[in-house]
Structure 1
Amino acid sequence: MAISEAEAVVMEVLWRAAPRSAEEILAEVGPAQDWQEGTVKSLLNRLLKKKAVRAERDGRRYLYTPLLSREKYVSQESKGLLDRLFDGRVAPLVAHFSEQRKLTRKDVAELRKLLKELDDEQP
């Protein structure tokens, strides 16, 4: 399921707390994104069509709840990034980020710990 950048902003609101109305979503992200109510409702309709969210009637409004988990979304996005830019390989990704942004001692320690854990799992 492909989620646009704008749709992801709406999803982040819903992942933090759901269910939420379009008005509540607008209040949270509208000013920062310079969005109007119609924009939020259009994004919610797109997310409904993609089955990323569901809507339940609550009086005269709808409340939206995510069907797509944040974990699944992050997994899809990171796999897509790896496949598109690094031929599905993690090492070139880490090398790229280490060249573009200085890794802290903590980053390096976490990477070493992860590599050790992965090495320990190998038969």
Structure 2
Amino acid sequence: MENNMTNKLPKISEAELEIMKVLWSNSPQTANEIIEELEDTMDWKPKTIRTLINRLVQKEAVSYHQDKGRMYAYFPLVSQENYLQVETKSLLQRFCGAAFKPLLVNFLKEEKLSSEDINELKRILDEKTEENKRKDR
């Protein structure tokens, strides 16, 4: 099922992604809270932000519930991790075709990684090594 959801992610524009980032960092939030967070950094009018929120609701990337004060509280239906997975795959296919290794090597050389990041990468590589060993048996 996870894979099925991955393939059916709604297409999220750059502007809509800014709304998603706000909701991923803290949700649920009302439209006014989202507006407050984005107004200064994005230089958008409240009407623009409301339009973007409504688009995300129509695309089923965001949903809402109504609280007692009849305010809509918005929350993401698409997880940040799921979105990143799909976008990363798409990016790799567009730019690299099958040449994933050079991109990864370049990223690792250029990126400043914390000890935590390095340990996480080691853990992932160890898992992949184990998977390959099982396949080779």
- State TM-score, norm by structure 1: 0.80
Structure 2: segments with no counterpart, 5+ residues: 1-9
Deviation at 1:86, TM superposition (A): 0.8
Code of the aligned partner of 2:46:
E
Structure 1: segments with no counterpart, 5+ residues: none
Cα RMSD, aligned residues only: 2.6
Q: Does 1:91 align with 2:101?
A: yes
Q: Does 1:49 align with 2:58?
A: yes
Q: Give the number of equivalent residue pairs.
A: 122
Task: Tell me if structure 2 keeps the 8 A contact 1:79–1:88.
Answer: no
Q: Does 1:69 align with 2:90?
A: no
Q: Distance in 2 between matches of 1:2 and 1:93?
A: 24
Deviation at 1:8, TM superposition (A): 1.1
Quickly say closer, same or farther: Cα 1:11–1:120, change in 2 above 3 A: same
Aligned with residue 29 of structure 1, among 28, 35, 38: 38
Quickly say closer, same or farther: Cα 1:35–1:91, change in 2 above 3 A: same
Task: Tell me if structure 2 keeps the 8 A contact 1:54–1:67.
Answer: yes
Q: Secondary structure at the match of 2:66?
A: strand
Deviation digits for residues 66-116 of structure 1, max 9, x if unmatched?
Answer: 1111111011110111111111442132244367x3777968887666545
Q: Distance in 1 between matches of 2:83 and 2:32?
A: 24
Deviation digits for residues 14-39 of structure 1, max 9, x if unmatched?
Answer: 11221101110111121011112111
Deviation at 1:63, TM superposition (A): 1.1
Quickly say closer, same or farther: Cα 1:39–1:95, change in 2 above 3 A: same
Q: How does 1:77-116 map to 2 (within 5 A)?
A: 77-97=87-107, 101=110, 114-116=124-126
- State TM-score, norm by structure 2: 0.73
Q: Greater RCO between the two (CA within 8 Å, min separation 6)?
A: 2
Q: Secondary structure at the match of 2:74?
A: strand
